[in-house]
Structure 1
Amino acid sequence: MSRFKLPPKGKKATKPEEAAPLSFDDIVDEAINMEEKGDRYVDGDKARRFYERSCELYAQAVAMNPEHDPLYNRGRLLLLLAEFRNPPYRPSECRGLLESSVNCLRRAAELEPTNTDTLFNLAQALRTSAEHLFSIDGQEPLAIAVAEEACALLEKVFALQSEAYQRNPVDSAGSEPQPGVSTQQLPQDGDKIEESLESVTAIQSVTKDTLIDTLVAWAETLSLRSSFCSDYASCMHFHSVAMEKLKLSEALGIEPARLSLRCADALSTLADTLASNEVEPTTAAEYFKQSLALVQRALEIEPSSVEALCDKGDILWSFLAFQIKYGGSEAEIRTAFADVVNSYTSAFQLESQNAEICAKLGDAQLYRILLYPSPEQQKTREVLVGNAILYYKRALAISETRIDAIRTCLHMGKAASQIPERDMECREAMIMWKKKGGKLVNGIFSGTDEDIPVDFSPATKASPWFQQLLVILQSV
């Protein structure tokens, strides 16, 4: 029997009414609704899809009426997506998101050149862009120019905020602004109230916390700028200015643990820069130690701070690489590795569903294999390989995002290849790596981390299945 019914005789079939096009206000309301849904999920595929949909709606709003608010909110959300970690975008996609974010926020800033929210977010987008650009060969001069523009914008933001704070000091933070609503200035004397009410959507006082947040962002951007320097004097100049901003935040009442972590971050960045440029290695070692002391101070204040524990592990890892490069003793290096693992393990015990920490634990076990090269140390190597594979499998089970999975599967394959009896696990890991989108780019496996200098074993490289994999990858 047919599922379709013919219209009664004598009557014409009617077409369904077309939905009326959405108005500008309707589109903005729906964009705000989508962002709020993304906020409820925080991260994951659903959150990202809601944020992406919100961006699309704001793009429609901008096309209808290119005013400040939709431009600002689209630029802000594009920056959020560029920095999204779970699931992350490809590096080329991140750069595209950042470029679009900067363009939107620039246009918004041209419409309201003293809107501190807009200028602050533009500075953050520029800072992240500079970080991406500096990793691309030949883009270093552009990265420096972009970072300096971000610093100049934050200087302007702080000046505007300081002026507003002096006019109306507020010691405690006010209510949080609603999504999709930007902070704007009060109407000036002589302005028409009716016109002002049409443009002002929310008012938020400048507090000490506001000033502190700007100073911290300014210090972080200056610290990034110092990492772009190749000579000692320039590096120290930008670092010193960054520390001045953090000192000023201390005068405004920044939380001691937060101050310690931000100062530790600035010092470890300086140490990394000096070490990578092979400038003042003795001084670099001292800065690493000072940085670790500051993180330890933060942990004494907040023993359960996952951020502090991860920062400690990251700094210890950088210091470890420094010791290996400059001939640290075998005992010192093994102790340092144990400290790295202990820091990440403590963090993982507090956040057992954190895939990033889990993957770091796998990396630490994988790197430690290099310390036990002799045949007599085979049992130790087997334990380390087993631990690494367990952590990588756990990381994949927690958050199997495509880009993270490519890296994790590759490292799992490299770990398994170190033990002949685990050849099948190595093969399975590489099959999974390829299914996740792994490729061979200029002879390098996608997902390769230069900070983990462990390669496939000679036996694995010579095996028929591995040679066949190379042929397939090279033919693509």
Structure 2
Amino acid sequence: MKKHGAGKEKKKPAKEAPTPQTWEEYMEEGVLLEEKGERYATGDKARRFYEKAGDMYNKACKLNPEDSDCLYNFGRVLYILVDFTHSPCQKLSLLNASIERFRSALNYDSDNADTLFNLAQALTTHAEVIQDHDEEDEDEEHDHDHSHGDHDHAHGSPEERAATELQEAIALFESCYSIQQRELYSAVREAQPKEEDESAEMRQQELSASAGVLIDTLISASQALTSLAFLVDTVERSHDYYQQASEKLNIALGVANDKALWPTNAEESSSGKGKQAAAELLMESEEDILPATKPVSTFREAQSQDETVSQKEKTCDIHLQYSNLLSSQTDRNYQDTGKISEELYEKSLQHLDIVLSFYPRHVEALCDKGDLLGAWAQGLAAFEPQVSMADIERWESRSTIAAEPTASSGASTKSGSGRPARIWQLFAQATRAFLSALEVEPQNTSILEKLGDIHWSRSLLSSSVALKNRPMLLNNASVYYRFAWESCRDGAENVDEDQRMDILLSWAQVLRALPGKDEEVIRVLKQWKRVGGTKDMLQDMLEGGAGDILQLDFVEFALKLVFN
């Protein structure tokens, strides 16, 4: 009888790579592991490769603690790993360690533009995280290896400490810009008209690359200035920082439009293409709401293999930051004056429409547009009467909804003109922007959640068109929250536990507003409790405000239902 497997040649075990022993071998292995992490980009495999690369650099640094390249590589990998965790404590620990390595690298190579830039980026990210997390508790849990010097223990509120770090980051970006500017000027001089040769194209690519990194530094400096402008106390200082942030982008746009820095066949900037779309913002008719369907990607785009720095892509990056700056200004202006600045909203939208004129399926620009339009609509709706949960609970059937304006509504519910129509149209535009983004990324949990949020917000409007479409709006909100939860449950990346719980609470709130969904409400709230929801969380919401989406009466309802 033939034995199982007989006739098959035995496979020899794979030969294990030799373990690194020298500084050079540790560095080489670290670089190889980094490259593997870059190929996977996201997910556990990428994270593991980056962690292994960090371990290699750590061992190399122990053998040669004064090598600036090793310290820089180690710091950069630690900074990359920040994107692979959702825990504020772990983020701060990685950021502190990364910042310490970058500072050490500068001790041995003080004019290294890459190190200056990355240290500034790490400080900017650190400033963002500490505003949502009290680092004093973190310091007690970790040893000195995770701190980054006296900056880490500055007195004051999280906002004050963040402002201090942002100011340092801005100074670092300035130093980096000065070095990169000199390098660009030098590259321009070397690329002056010469006889055509085989290296002409290579020199042009190097010139474009130098222009690209200069633009990146200016954009990052503008981002830090924008964050600082929103944090500072006085209106005057805020305005000054916003102005500085805008000036950085003006310089960047000048670099992007300098024909001498880019290949002659590069696409021209079309700063006027997006204006028509922005002008048509409020021209939408009041169509009925279509039912939500299972998101499926209908868009495919070939991946370019060309690594040449693109003038068009850099131009879009600049306009995305222009929009972010103006959006921040709208929030700060409302905080200072209590008024909606529609002019700032319109200008911000124009920059996004420029990006979309280049790339109609640019997910970041589409989501930014949806957020901006939604915020604009929410701001205007704050001055209009809205439907309360008590009103929704009184509805007995869909047939009575259109005939029953809210009891609290003292304003006209006509939707054909005035502010109610404007609010409805802005929300409709925001919905379309998110739906376009969903066509490109149908499993994007955040987009699905945004669509749930926006349909819920529209269902609370008191205009006649909102009353007419309320059943479909509520049903769509429920469907999108369900899709978002299924995406979480299926292992979507970059979704933390807080977002999962927010989705479940928002879903339960919508189900409560729909007739005959009592059992589903209980089921979803129990699921929320299973994934980590606590009584203290709900009580904190009641004390501090539930937020833009969750209403306080629903939070009270959930507290009694789940923990009674």
TM-score by length of 1: 0.77
Of 394, 405, 409, which residue of structure 1 is paired with 2:500?
Answer: 405
Change (3 A) 1:462 1:337: same
Give the distance between the partners of 1:334 and 1:258, measured in 2 at CA.
Answer: 30
Of 152, 160, 169, which residue of structure 1 is paired with 2:179?
Answer: 160
Of 198, 213, 216, which residue of structure 1 is paired with 2:219?
Answer: 216
1:85-135 Cα shifts (integer Å, max 9, x gaps): xxx422222222222211111111112110000000000011111122334
Q: Which residue of 1 aligns with 2:419?
A: 329
The more displaced of 452-461 and 224-233 is 452-461
Q: Does 1:302 align with 2:359?
A: yes
Q: Which residue of 2 aligns with 1:96?
A: 93
1:142-194 Cα shifts (integer Å, max 9, x gaps): 1111001000000000101112222233779979xxxxxxxxxxxxxxxxxxx
Contact kept, 8 Å, 1:267 with 1:288, in 2: the verdict is yes
Q: Which residue of 2 aligns with 1:76?
A: 76
SS in 2 for 1:113: coil
Q: Does 1:357 align with 2:444?
A: no
The more displaced of 114-123 and 136-145 is 136-145
Of 531, 538, 547, which residue of structure 2 is paired with 1:436?
Answer: 531
CA-CA distance at 1:326 after TM superposition: 4.5
SS in 2 for 1:329: helix
Q: Which residue of 2 aligns with 1:392?
A: 484
Contact kept, 8 Å, 1:127 with 1:147, in 2: the verdict is yes
Of 117, 121, 126, which residue of structure 1 is paired with 2:123?
Answer: 126
Give the distance between the partners of 2:560 and 2:201, measured in 1 at CA.
Answer: 63
Q: Which amino acid aligns with 1:153?
A: L
Tell me the percent identity.
28
Contact kept, 8 Å, 1:292 with 1:312, in 2: the verdict is yes
Change (3 A) 1:110 1:295: same
Contact kept, 8 Å, 1:223 with 1:266, in 2: the verdict is yes
Contact kept, 8 Å, 1:356 with 1:395, in 2: the verdict is no
The more displaced of 323-332 and 360-369 is 323-332
CA-CA distance at 1:350 after TM superposition: 1.9
SS in 2 for 1:168: helix
Contact kept, 8 Å, 1:417 with 1:456, in 2: the verdict is no
Give the distance between the partners of 2:256 and 2:349, measured in 1 at CA.
Answer: 23
1:197-223 Cα shifts (integer Å, max 9, x gaps): xxxxxx999711121111111111111
Give the distance between the partners of 2:234 and 2:541, measured in 1 at CA.
Answer: 33
Of 217, 229, 233, which residue of structure 2 is paired with 1:230?
Answer: 233
Contact kept, 8 Å, 2:448 with 2:480, in 1: the verdict is no
Give the distance between the partners of 1:458 and 1:142, measured in 2 at CA.
Answer: 33
1:365-394 Cα shifts (integer Å, max 9, x gaps): 233343369999873464244333333234
Q: For structure 2, which runs of at least 5 residues remain unmatched after alignment?
A: 1-17, 135-156, 192-199, 258-311, 385-417
SS in 1 for 2:337: coil
SS in 2 for 1:54: helix
SS in 1 for 2:111: coil
Q: Which residue of 1 aligns with 2:336?
A: 277
Q: Which residue of 1 aligns with 2:151?
A: none
Q: Does 1:417 align with 2:417?
A: no
Q: Which amino acid aligns with 1:264?
A: S
1:311-353 Cα shifts (integer Å, max 9, x gaps): 1112112222322334593333222222211110011112223
SS in 2 for 1:252: helix
Q: Does 1:347 align with 2:366?
A: no
Q: Which residue of 2 aligns with 1:467?
A: 563
Q: Which residue of 1 aligns with 2:322?
A: 263
Give the distance between the partners of 1:433 and 1:58, measured in 2 at CA.
Answer: 41
Q: Which amino acid aligns with 1:144?
A: A
Change (3 A) 1:107 1:453: same
Q: Which amino acid aligns with 1:308?
A: A
CA-CA distance at 1:79 after TM superposition: 1.7
1:174-193 paired onto structure 2 within 5 Å: none
Give the distance between the partners of 1:289 and 1:417, measured in 2 at CA.
Answer: 36
Q: Which residue of 1 aligns with 2:550?
A: 453
Give the distance between the partners of 1:237 and 1:173, measured in 2 at CA.
Answer: 42
Q: Which residue of 2 aligns with 1:199?
A: none
Q: Which amino acid aligns with 1:342?
A: R
Change (3 A) 1:366 1:114: same
TM-score by length of 2: 0.66
Contact kept, 8 Å, 1:173 with 1:207, in 2: the verdict is no
Contact kept, 8 Å, 1:27 with 1:58, in 2: the verdict is yes
Q: Does 1:142 align with 2:161?
A: yes
SS in 1 for 2:98: helix
Give the distance between the partners of 1:286 and 1:310, measured in 2 at CA.
Answer: 20
Change (3 A) 1:406 1:54: farther
Q: Which residue of 2 aligns with 1:33?
A: 32
Change (3 A) 1:225 1:32: same
1:413-460 Cα shifts (integer Å, max 9, x gaps): 3333333532333333333334433445463479x9734234573895
Equivalenced residue count is 416
Contact kept, 8 Å, 2:78 with 2:98, in 1: the verdict is yes
Q: Which amino acid aligns with 1:262?
A: Q
Change (3 A) 1:93 1:167: same
Q: Which amino acid aligns with 1:314?
A: D
Contact kept, 8 Å, 1:102 with 1:122, in 2: the verdict is yes
Contact kept, 8 Å, 2:345 with 2:376, in 1: the verdict is yes
Q: Does 1:366 align with 2:462?
A: no
Q: Which residue of 2 aligns with 1:239?
A: 242
Contact kept, 8 Å, 2:481 with 2:504, in 1: the verdict is no
Contact kept, 8 Å, 1:439 with 1:445, in 2: the verdict is no
Q: Which amino acid aligns with 2:479?
A: N
Change (3 A) 1:372 1:391: farther
Q: Which residue of 2 aligns with 1:7?
A: none
Give the distance between the partners of 1:157 and 1:417, measured in 2 at CA.
Answer: 54
Q: Which amino acid aligns with 1:222?
A: L
Give the distance between the partners of 2:245 and 2:508, measured in 1 at CA.
Answer: 42
Contact kept, 8 Å, 2:456 with 2:474, in 1: the verdict is no
Give the distance between the partners of 2:112 and 2:535, measured in 1 at CA.
Answer: 46
Change (3 A) 1:139 1:73: same
1:243-288 Cα shifts (integer Å, max 9, x gaps): 1111111221254433332211111111111113336x25x33211
Q: Which residue of 2 aligns with 1:14?
A: none
Q: Which amino acid aligns with 2:22?
A: S
Q: Which amino acid aligns with 2:480?
A: A
Change (3 A) 1:301 1:377: closer
Q: Which amino acid aligns with 2:504?
A: C
CA RMSD of aligned residues (A): 3.3
Q: Which residue of 2 aligns with 1:197?
A: none
